[in-house]
């Protein structure tokens, strides 16, 4: 449900207030539920609680992260790959730049977050939300336009894209001592902000997986980093 508060242009200092009462009615199904369990066929092991440890808000995120790590038994952690900061210019080798002391602060912070989780014995998933401009088709689309959002990866640049992604994960392992358990693009079915079809995702699994394995990385592709549980 969408409720309009201020239609038309809004000026500084303008205020609005609206009181709403929402009620729902329905007939409750109180019939008994019968559950039958086949103990001879156990399902997958439930590891426990996982969490996103993406540093988006410098003021609010760190205390929340500290609280979660201090009070919860976190069994999986996901951190961001600031890919655009890692490899903004295609012609510049990001590893050489990092070794020369030109590592972006956002990349250092993300890698340090991964290091912190790894030192606590928490498996790390690395996910990229967005891509550098040279790696995508069209102008960056961060909001839904014509029912689509995000950008597909540029097919003509896939060789450079694969090299760039694997170089980040390799540098994370070599410089910060963290071997990512898995890699994904965040919600790529919807495009936040890299959008992929099922076929494109399958192709990436093959090509990036082979590249990571060739460099001695044990990192796997995370299948099913979806926007909703209804997509596949």
* Backbone phi and psi for residue 129, each to the nearest 5 degrees, phi listed first: -85, -45
pLDDT band at 221 (very low <50, low <70, confident <90, very high): very high
Question: Tokens representing 79?
Answer: 């951190």
d(CA 96, CA 179): 20
3 φψ region: left (φ > 0), alpha (ψ -120 to 50), beta (else): beta
Scanning the chain, the segments in alpha helix (DSSP H) are 61-71, 83-86, 94-99, 105-119, 158-176, 198-214
Q: Which residues contact 131 (CB under 8 A, 6 or more apart)?
A: 83, 84, 151, 153, 161, 193, 194
Q: Which residues contact 88 (CB under 8 A, 6 or more apart)?
A: 132
Give tens-digit pLDDT for 45-74: 899 999 999 999 989 999 999 999 999 999
The stretch 139-161 carries a mean pLDDT of 86
The stretch 77-95 carries a mean pLDDT of 98
Which strands, in side-by-side order, build the sheet including 49-52?
49-52, 74-80, 124-128, 182-185, 220-221
pLDDT at residue number 43: 87
């Amino acid at each position: 449900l969408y409720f309009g508060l201020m239609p038309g242009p809004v000026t500084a200092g303008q205020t609005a207030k609206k009181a709403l009462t929402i009620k729902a009615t329905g007939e409750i199904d109180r019939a008994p539920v019968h559950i039958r369990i086949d103990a001879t066929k156990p399902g997958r092991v439930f590891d426990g609680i996982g969490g996103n440890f993406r540093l988006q808000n410098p003021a609010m995120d760190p205390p929340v992260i500290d609280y979660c790590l201090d009070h919860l038994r976190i069994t999986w952690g996901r951190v961001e790959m600031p890919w655009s900061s890692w490899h903004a210019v295609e012609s510049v080798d990001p590893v050489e730049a990092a070794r020369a002391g030109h590592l972006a602060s956002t990349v250092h912070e993300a890698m340090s977050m991964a290091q912190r989780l790894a030192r606590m014995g928490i498996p790390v998933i690395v996910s990229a939300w967005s891509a550098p401009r040279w790696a995508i088709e069209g102008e960056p689309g961060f909001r839904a336009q014509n029912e689509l959002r995000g950008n597909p990866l540029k097919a003509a640049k896939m060789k450079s894209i694969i090299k760039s992604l694997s170089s980040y994960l390799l540098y994370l392992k070599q410089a910060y001592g963290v071997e990512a358990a898995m890699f994904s693009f965040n919600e790529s079915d919807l495009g936040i902000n890299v959008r992929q079809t099922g076929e494109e995702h399958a192709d990436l699994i093959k090509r990036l997986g082979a590249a990571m394995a060739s460099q001695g990385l044990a990192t796997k592709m995370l299948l099913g980093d979806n926007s909703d549980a209804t997509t596949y």
